[in-house]
Amino acid sequence: MNYATPEFWVFIAFILFLGAVGKRAFIFLTQSLDEHSRKIAHQLEEAQRLHDEALSLLNSYKKKHEEATEQAAKIVSYAEAEALEFKKSSEEEFEKFMVSKEKALAERMAIEKEEAKSKLRQQAVDEAFTIIEKLLSKELKEKKKLTEASLKEISELVQKPTGMILK
Protein backbone atom coordinates (compact mmCIF):
# COMPACT_ATOMS: atom_id res chain seq x y z
CA MET A 1 0.00 0.00 0.00
CA ASN A 2 1.22 3.21 -1.04
CA TYR A 3 0.27 6.13 1.13
CA ALA A 4 1.62 8.80 -1.14
CA THR A 5 -0.82 8.54 -3.92
CA PRO A 6 -3.32 11.30 -4.31
CA GLU A 7 -6.17 8.79 -4.43
CA PHE A 8 -5.15 7.61 -1.00
CA TRP A 9 -5.25 11.14 0.38
CA VAL A 10 -8.56 11.80 -1.32
CA PHE A 11 -9.85 8.63 0.23
CA ILE A 12 -8.57 9.68 3.69
CA ALA A 13 -10.03 13.17 3.21
CA PHE A 14 -13.28 11.62 2.16
CA ILE A 15 -13.30 9.37 5.22
CA LEU A 16 -12.49 12.35 7.49
CA PHE A 17 -15.14 14.40 5.76
CA LEU A 18 -17.62 11.58 6.13
CA GLY A 19 -16.56 11.18 9.77
CA ALA A 20 -16.99 14.90 10.52
CA VAL A 21 -20.16 15.28 8.47
CA GLY A 22 -21.37 11.79 9.47
CA LYS A 23 -20.88 12.58 13.18
CA ARG A 24 -22.83 15.81 12.80
CA ALA A 25 -25.41 14.04 10.61
CA PHE A 26 -25.60 11.23 13.16
CA ILE A 27 -26.03 13.74 15.99
CA PHE A 28 -28.64 15.66 13.92
CA LEU A 29 -30.46 12.46 12.99
CA THR A 30 -30.29 11.19 16.57
CA GLN A 31 -31.64 14.50 17.90
CA SER A 32 -34.27 14.57 15.19
CA LEU A 33 -35.33 11.01 15.92
CA ASP A 34 -35.28 11.68 19.69
CA GLU A 35 -37.44 14.78 19.14
CA HIS A 36 -39.76 12.80 16.91
CA SER A 37 -39.84 10.00 19.51
CA ARG A 38 -40.71 12.57 22.24
CA LYS A 39 -43.47 14.00 20.04
CA ILE A 40 -44.86 10.54 19.41
CA ALA A 41 -44.62 9.70 23.12
CA HIS A 42 -46.40 12.98 23.94
CA GLN A 43 -49.07 12.22 21.33
CA LEU A 44 -49.45 8.71 22.74
CA GLU A 45 -49.82 10.13 26.25
CA GLU A 46 -52.34 12.68 24.96
CA ALA A 47 -54.17 9.92 23.07
CA GLN A 48 -54.19 7.75 26.20
CA ARG A 49 -55.47 10.68 28.28
CA LEU A 50 -58.18 11.40 25.70
CA HIS A 51 -59.03 7.69 25.56
CA ASP A 52 -59.35 7.55 29.35
CA GLU A 53 -61.43 10.74 29.30
CA ALA A 54 -63.67 9.29 26.58
CA LEU A 55 -64.11 6.06 28.58
CA SER A 56 -64.93 8.09 31.66
CA LEU A 57 -67.49 10.12 29.72
CA LEU A 58 -68.90 6.95 28.17
CA ASN A 59 -69.27 5.34 31.59
CA SER A 60 -70.79 8.55 32.92
CA TYR A 61 -73.29 8.66 30.05
CA LYS A 62 -74.07 4.97 30.47
CA LYS A 63 -74.78 5.58 34.15
CA LYS A 64 -76.92 8.64 33.31
CA HIS A 65 -78.72 6.56 30.66
CA GLU A 66 -79.44 3.83 33.20
CA GLU A 67 -80.66 6.41 35.73
CA ALA A 68 -82.82 8.07 33.06
CA THR A 69 -84.20 4.66 32.05
CA GLU A 70 -84.99 3.84 35.68
CA GLN A 71 -86.58 7.23 36.17
CA ALA A 72 -88.62 6.82 32.98
CA ALA A 73 -89.75 3.38 34.18
CA LYS A 74 -90.77 4.90 37.53
CA ILE A 75 -92.64 7.69 35.75
CA VAL A 76 -94.41 5.20 33.48
CA SER A 77 -95.25 3.01 36.47
CA TYR A 78 -96.56 6.02 38.39
CA ALA A 79 -98.56 7.18 35.36
CA GLU A 80 -100.05 3.71 34.94
CA ALA A 81 -100.98 3.61 38.63
CA GLU A 82 -102.51 7.08 38.36
CA ALA A 83 -104.42 6.08 35.23
CA LEU A 84 -105.71 2.94 36.94
CA GLU A 85 -106.75 4.95 40.00
CA PHE A 86 -108.43 7.54 37.78
CA LYS A 87 -110.22 4.80 35.86
CA LYS A 88 -111.36 3.21 39.11
CA SER A 89 -112.60 6.49 40.57
CA SER A 90 -114.26 7.41 37.26
CA GLU A 91 -116.05 4.07 37.19
CA GLU A 92 -117.18 4.55 40.80
CA GLU A 93 -118.38 8.06 40.06
CA PHE A 94 -120.14 6.80 36.94
CA GLU A 95 -121.84 4.04 38.94
CA LYS A 96 -122.94 6.57 41.58
CA PHE A 97 -124.17 8.88 38.83
CA MET A 98 -126.08 6.06 37.17
CA VAL A 99 -127.61 4.96 40.49
CA SER A 100 -128.70 8.52 41.25
CA LYS A 101 -130.09 8.95 37.70
CA GLU A 102 -131.94 5.62 37.97
CA LYS A 103 -133.32 6.64 41.37
CA ALA A 104 -134.37 10.05 40.03
CA LEU A 105 -135.94 8.39 37.00
CA ALA A 106 -137.80 5.89 39.20
CA GLU A 107 -139.04 8.74 41.42
CA ARG A 108 -140.09 10.71 38.37
CA MET A 109 -141.86 7.67 36.94
CA ALA A 110 -143.65 7.13 40.28
CA ILE A 111 -144.71 10.79 40.35
CA GLU A 112 -145.87 10.64 36.73
CA LYS A 113 -147.71 7.37 37.48
CA GLU A 114 -149.47 8.99 40.43
CA GLU A 115 -150.28 12.04 38.30
CA ALA A 116 -151.67 9.78 35.57
CA LYS A 117 -153.76 7.87 38.14
CA SER A 118 -154.97 11.15 39.55
CA LYS A 119 -155.89 12.42 36.09
CA LEU A 120 -157.69 9.16 35.32
CA ARG A 121 -159.59 9.37 38.62
CA GLN A 122 -160.48 12.97 37.89
CA GLN A 123 -161.62 12.05 34.37
CA ALA A 124 -163.66 9.15 35.79
CA VAL A 125 -165.23 11.47 38.38
CA ASP A 126 -165.92 14.09 35.70
CA GLU A 127 -167.46 11.45 33.44
CA ALA A 128 -169.52 10.10 36.33
CA PHE A 129 -170.78 13.61 37.15
CA THR A 130 -171.58 14.20 33.49
CA ILE A 131 -173.51 10.92 33.31
CA ILE A 132 -175.29 11.64 36.60
CA GLU A 133 -176.15 15.14 35.44
CA LYS A 134 -177.53 13.72 32.20
CA LEU A 135 -179.52 11.12 34.10
CA LEU A 136 -180.75 13.62 36.63
CA SER A 137 -181.55 16.13 33.96
CA LYS A 138 -183.40 13.42 32.04
CA GLU A 139 -185.27 12.39 35.18
CA LEU A 140 -186.01 16.02 35.97
CA LYS A 141 -187.35 16.55 32.48
CA GLU A 142 -189.44 13.42 32.78
CA LYS A 143 -190.61 14.43 36.27
CA LYS A 144 -191.36 17.88 34.99
CA LYS A 145 -193.30 16.40 32.08
CA LEU A 146 -195.12 14.05 34.45
CA THR A 147 -195.74 16.90 36.85
CA GLU A 148 -197.01 19.10 34.04
CA ALA A 149 -199.14 16.27 32.69
CA SER A 150 -200.47 15.58 36.18
CA LEU A 151 -201.17 19.23 36.74
CA LYS A 152 -202.88 19.42 33.39
CA GLU A 153 -205.00 16.43 34.23
CA ILE A 154 -205.78 17.91 37.62
CA SER A 155 -206.68 21.24 36.09
CA GLU A 156 -208.86 19.43 33.54
CA LEU A 157 -210.48 17.50 36.28
CA VAL A 158 -211.00 20.60 38.30
CA GLN A 159 -212.62 22.32 35.40
CA LYS A 160 -215.09 19.47 34.78
CA PRO A 161 -218.17 19.28 36.87
CA THR A 162 -217.79 17.50 40.13
CA GLY A 163 -220.29 14.91 39.32
CA MET A 164 -218.20 13.33 36.83
CA ILE A 165 -215.49 12.68 39.17
CA LEU A 166 -217.67 10.38 41.16
CA LYS A 167 -218.75 8.26 38.39
Per residue in 62-118, pLDDT tens?
A: 999 999 999 999 999 999 999 999 999 999 999 999 999 999 999 999 999 999 999
Average pLDDT, the chain: 87
Does pLDDT of 158 surpass 60? yes
pLDDT at 167 over 50: no
Provide the H-helix boundaries in the chain. 6-159, 163-166
- Higher local confidence (pLDDT), 63 or 125: 63
How many C-alpha atoms does 35 have within 13 Å on its Cβ side? Answer: 6
Q: How far is CA 105 from CA 94, 99, 111, 113, in A?
A: 16, 10, 10, 12
- Which one-letter amino acid corresponds to residue 13? A
